Chains A and B, each alone.
Chain A
Amino acid sequence: MQEQLREAAEQARTAIAACQTNNDILNAKARYLGKKSLVNSLYGKLKDIPPEDKPAFGQAINELRAGIEKLLAERELELKDRLQEEQDAAQAQDLSLPGNFRPRGSLHPLTIIRRRIEDIFMGLGFEIAEGPDIDDEFHNFDALNTPPDHPSRNLADTFYLENGCLLRTQTSTVQVRVMEKYPPPIHIISPGRCYRNDKPDPSHSPVFHQLEALVVDKGVSMADLKDTLQNFAQIMFGEDVRSRIRPHFFPFTEPSAEMDISCVSCQGKGCRVCKNSGWLELGGAGMVDPAVFKMLGIDPEIYSGYALGFGVERIAMLKYNIPDMRILFENDVRMLRQFSGEVL
């Protein structure tokens, strides 16, 4: 009896697996589960079975029936899926046609660079502070220890407005305003527009963007300045970039320095961009002059600080290899569009 059941199951399995169409399935259903099927005839034999074996035999037939039903259902689904796939394949389109999307516009390269610098410094724990473009002589010159007869105060260098105000020549004005308002410790960067009475040329623009960093705290030294410069240079231009500082003069820092980075174009070997020096000038820096602190009511015996600053245009031109600063203010969409793909 067991043998007979197993054989029936095996037979049905083979036949169902061979079904290729819906019709085949219907036929198999009739043959293995219908009135004249083996399963049905087995039910008929139940009456001949000894009563004690009846439950076990009955269950075995039920299981056989359920097994066949399951196989049929599975095969039916398989055939349906195959049919669908065949239909889909027949309706294939020209997948090489371009997709449809609205392209992103772009942020201005100076905005992209400004954001990058902001993000780098924010990651280093700096806050962003902003101030007015139109400022007075006190914040732009006096508070920054610039002598009254200093040439940078000339009309040839600085734009003045009819009411006696001026357009700031550096964002150091913001540093002054922050130190007036907040007690140390201060860790800020101040990005913004600056103005100098220069005729536009490949490396000058009467309107340009600057970014300065200022740190005032206990125990701040030039070593911290070097750290910040090196961190910034590597994050901005790549891990291989080196940086250095050279003695220089600014009225509001003492000691003062110029900051250089190794040439990003030739990796310091010497090329046209770096005029064969291997180094590119990045901007100015130094330790805040005690006179500046005193003027703002900060005790230079307790606090020390450093400031550094550079032009955003210069960074953008180095970063993107833009040869002429004027290109940045032409707003030609053929230039702007190139920055659509910039992942910020």
Chain B
Amino acid sequence: MIISCRWLSRYIELPADLNLLVQTLTFSGIEVEAVKPLPELPAGVVAAKVLSAEPIPGTDHLQVCSVEFGAGEPAQVVCGAPNCKAGMISVLALPGTELPGLTIKTATLRGVESRGMLCSERELGLSDNHAGIIELDASTPAGSSVNEIYELPDTILELEITPNRPDLLGYTGIARDLSASLGKPLRLPPVEHLPGEPSEETALTLVLEDPLKCPRYTARLLDGVNVKESPQWLKTALVKSGLRPINNIVDVTNFVMLELGHPLHAFDYGKLQPLDPSDGHPAVVARQARPEEEFVALDGKNLRLNPGDLVIADGRDASALAGVMGGKDTAISAATTSIVLEAACFQPGSIRATSYKHKLSTDSSYRFERHLSPHYVDLVSDRAVQLFLETAGGKVCNELYDAWPEPLKPRYLAVRPCRFRQLIGYELAGEEIIRYLEALGCEFIQYGAWIDGLIEDTSLIHCHHLEEEKAGKTEFSEIDCVHSLFFRIPPQRVDITREADLLEELARLAGYERIPRKKEAPRIMDRHAFRIRRGIEDWFADASFHETLNYSFCDPAQLADLALEPAETEAKLFRLVNPQSSNQSAMRITLLPQLLDNLRYNLNHGERNLKLMELGKVYLKEGDSQAEYLSFAAVLTGKMDPEHWSAAGKAIDFYQVKGLVEGLLRLLGVQETNTAALERPWLSAGDNLGFYAEDRVIASCGRLKTRVAQNFGIDLTLLKQDIWVIELDVDLLIDLTRGREKIFRELPRHPAVTRDLSFLIKTGVAYAEIAAAIKAVNPDLIRDVSIFDQYLGQQVPEGFRSMSLRIVVQDSEKTLTDERVDQVLASVREMLFRAWQINMR
């Protein structure tokens, strides 16, 4: 729904701060979808009278106009609008005026000078209407301020009205809700019922055939009306709410629809046929359409109706598709002198079905589909009659014709403050409940004993409180009694039928921000550490490692077995005062000795392929204090994969062990680690590698020295297998990855090109060094470098190895040409030659 703040402020005083208004609407459940400011127009935009308009020869639509604008000589203006004609009052923008996205200049069109521009609503930013230039009320004096005419500045709000709130489909409904949430009085337009003059001549026969689909139908007759353009205030109001002015009668029905939320329709009384030609009075019949009944709608479309569609007919034919659209034949025209004003209420389901079937969705059907109350129909009619007399003259004939077989009964509901507390979570005092609900139009009846559901009779409300008070008691036995508040529900709030509905209204109006948080529990758990730890355990379990758990103790002698310096270990070692045995006499500072014990134990049981791991604490003495670190170690020996008939198993090699670490680091999102050989007394000098992050070792892997294995009772020469070791600093991995978030990377839009390079290189130059150097040649284009083959066979000369690399080249901006790729590759070759004298094979 499109709302002008200036119009809305007729019914309620709005906060000066627009943000506060938007906030209030949003938090009372009326979502503001868009805020469109209508700024003041510059001084060069004025009301102007077109004195003459002559076609420019040789053009099909341009006219040269003489335009009076209230100052000096009339201006000569060229205009191409189809509706431009002499005598009209429009809006002129003088040269030098800045309009949104447009500066008016004196220009020459087809050899004719134009000193200004006649504007459409769109050019002034008032609406989307660009069908022609603005036509102001003919009584507007030339030179009048356009800002006054259009009540500028203003703000237009686009509101989303939820389907449960038909009462918000008009300005007064929004104002009523704001009155409740802002605590400001509601100023409804003064509506008076005007009695009609009895007239036998201008009378109507009203027949309501289908009260199910049309619970209430009223009609009012006006005679002697003057159909013409609307006064400017009415035009302005409609334009700002997104409607186009048509004539005063139609405009008034639209205005009242926007103001009160209830659609109306006006028929040309003179076009209506009587039921029986002999009996005279034109008829209005609310009935089902006849099978295949033909109907020409207001927009000229021919419709074929059927029973199920409700029509408003005269004595002969359908004159309107009830609640959806009027008919062409009975529409108001310039020749109309007497009108029938329809104010009625239709069943939502029927309107929805008809609207859907005929693909006709109108402002009227939109509202009727949402269940409008029949209660206010006469008031809506009175309001329109009042405005008809004001804008079109004439007189009202006869009383209101009102077919309302089953008038609404008043409805009462009780609400319990204790229930509010239970459901919403805080206390709302009785006075506050009364204040909010009365602002919505509910009427407080009294306190009483709890009754569930709608009641129609206030005598059912029983109150111990009053009786006991009369009996002189001050303590009340029935706690419910004083704790229920009874209200009469306003008829337009068809959505309020249960206590829960009232509680929702109260919660909404008091503001959801008032709802307290119940428990603000501190976040104690280190979820990140928890995830990393489980991630590591699962990674190795999935890679067929078995997890072991060993005591937290160690045998200090075994540390020497690992070839650690006793002096060095002693400084870190915590000894127990009361150990159970010497081999459990200190806290462990590494997980490795116990894992090697586990390995020997299982080798002794005949197992050959073993992968064992432990993730647990180590305990280090740091000065006088102690520190506990989460550590991880794994030992593996034998074959990586189990024996299988399809392939001979391969003994674990260095790259498989390294791969386990690399894969884990990738899993944890640890990038940019450096690797370098590592000094560990238990690892053999050749096959060991440390993974560094910021100069700290986060992971290591390598081959256990034969001597060390021997110390742990494992004879590798007999076993004919290597033992490999992996160690991780779990705490460091947790710290390193903390706070990292996975971010999706946009997929590349341009294809990647892959090129392979094979060459001989001196042994001693590391692959990683070469790959990094290649990437550095053009980091923007070279996406990836990988090795897919290495060869050290007979054809390769002594002191060299053959390497085959795959290079992926990709540009994020465009598709690479072959020439560009060749250039990149040429630079790579050149670099390889310069750095290592590499010639391509």
Which residues of A line the B interface, CB within 8 A? 97-98, 100, 102-108, 110-111, 115, 127-130, 132-134, 155-156, 159-163, 165, 167, 178, 182-183, 185-188, 193, 195, 197, 199, 206-207, 217, 328-334, 336-337
Contact = CB atoms under 8 A, between A and B. Distances in A.
Contact of B544 (A97, A100, A104, A188): A104
Contacts of B549: 108, 110-111, 328-329, 331
B827 interface: no
B547 interface: yes
A129 B525 CA distance: 5
Nearest to B623: A163
Interface stretch (B54-62, B534-542, B708-716, B779-787): B534-542
Contacts of B525: 127-129, 188
Contact of B607 (A115, A128, A134, A333): A333
Contacts of A155: 577-578
A161 B575 contact: yes
A210 to B, nearest CB: 14
A337 B610 CA distance: 11
5 contacts: A108-B548, A134-B574, A188-B524, A197-B580, A332-B601
B587 A134 contact: yes
Given A100-B644, A134-B628, A329-B551, A105 B541 contact: yes
B574 A162 contact: yes
B178 interface: no
Nearest to B523: A127
B487 interface: no
Given A193-B552, A207-B552, A182 B578 contact: no
A228 to B, nearest CB: 16
A333 B552 contact: no
Interface in B628-663: 628, 640-642, 644-647
Interface of B: 519, 521-526, 530, 534, 537-538, 540-553, 574-580, 584, 587, 598, 601-602, 605, 607, 610-613, 617, 619, 621, 624, 626, 628, 640-642, 644-647
B435 to A, nearest CB: 32
A102 B544 contact: yes
Contact of A207 (B534, B542, B553, B605): B553
Contact of B552 (A106, A130, A195): A195
B522 A182 contact: yes
Contacts of B607: 333
A197 B578 contact: yes
A150 B605 CA distance: 45
Contact of B642 (A102, A110, A336): A102
B835 to A, nearest CB: 40
A118 to B, nearest CB: 8
B645 A97 contact: yes
A163 B644 CA distance: 55
Contacts of B642: 102-103
A238 to B, nearest CB: 25
Most buried by B among A133, A134, A178: A134
A8 B607 CA distance: 78
A267 to B, nearest CB: 31
A105 B544 contact: yes
Contact of B541 (A100, A104, A160, A330): A104
A111 B548 CA distance: 9
A207 B576 CA distance: 14
B186 to A, nearest CB: 43
Given A100-B646, A133-B619, A333-B605, 6 more contacts: A111-B549, A130-B526, A134-B587, A155-B577, A161-B577, A178-B524
A86 B431 CA distance: 87
A129 B628 contact: no
Contacts of B602: 331-333
Nearest to B616: A193
Contacts of A188: 524-525
A160 B577 contact: yes
A186 B521 contact: yes
Nearest to B644: A100
A332 B552 contact: no
A132 to B, nearest CB: 5
A162 B577 contact: yes
A195 B546 CA distance: 24
Contacts of A134: 574, 587, 619, 626, 628
A332 B538 CA distance: 19
A162 B575 contact: yes
A156 B549 CA distance: 24
B575 A105 contact: no
A171 B605 CA distance: 36
Contact of B547 (A107, A132, A161, A193): A107
Contact of A336 (B543, B547, B550, B580): B547
